[in-house]
Amino acid sequence: MAKGTIWIDSERCKGCDLCPTVCPQNIILMDNDSLNGKGYHSAMLADPENVCTGCAICAMICPDVCITVFRETRAPRSSAIPA
């Protein structure tokens, strides 16, 4: 399965709680222990086992474009070329 990760711009986040509901890996949480500069509990990534697939559903659902997705690039497969 593809590997990925995300970066959440916590200062832009308005704490709408949408992205945690759509992540298939359940690795986005709301940071209930702190507030950002706007006074919201922002979303945060909690992925200690690196299970993010880079599917980007979280980024697509975010109404404020707070989430950047990074995906692992794979080297192209070498294929045998018949002589």
Looking at the Cβ atoms of 1 and 81, the one nearer to ligand SF4 is 1
Q: Tell me the C-alpha distance between 40 and 76, whole Å.
A: 43
Instruction: List the Cα angle 16/26/45 in 5-degree steps.
Output: 65
Residue 44 as a binder of ligand SF4 (CB under 6 A): the answer is no
Residue 11 as a binder of ligand SF4 (CB under 6 A): the answer is no
Which residue ranges make up the site for ligand SF4 (CB under 6 A)?
Answer: 4, 6, 8, 13-19, 23-25, 27-28, 42-43, 52-58, 61-62, 64, 66-67, 69
